[in-house]
Amino acid sequence: MSGRPEIEAFVRRLVAEIEAAEAAGMTEPEAIAEHFNAAGITTRKGRRWSGVTVAKFLASPGAMRYRSAGKGLVAGATGG
């Protein structure tokens, strides 16, 4: 069961990073993916981010749980 708290911490960290990126003007999943990759932030599996993976993460129940009220980047994501 040690994995669950680690996953939750990972999700909270990513949500905070995404909201900071949004506050800095990065509103497209592709821009956030580029930011993550430049900063060395990888997926849980150690892979690079793409706009699609950012959009999928934002649509996940875990990410939605930690998003600040009124945040909805994924609504405009095209997934391509």
Residue 79 lies in a domain: no
Residue 77 lies in a domain: no
Q: Which residue has the tokens 């040690």?
A: 2
Tens of pLDDT along 50-74? 999 999 999 999 899 998 865 554 4
Residue 26 lies in a domain: yes
Residue 56 lies in a domain: yes
Question: Of all helices (H) and strands (E), which one includes residue 45?
Answer: none
3-class state of residue 24 by DSSP: coil
* Average pLDDT rounded to a whole number, residues 33-55: 96
What CA–CA distance (Å, rounded) separates 29 from 16?
15
What is the residue type of 57? F
Give me the number of domains the chain comprises: 1
User: Which pTM does this prediction carry?
Assistant: 0.78
Q: Which residue has the tokens 């932030």?
A: 41
Range of the domain at 52: 3-67
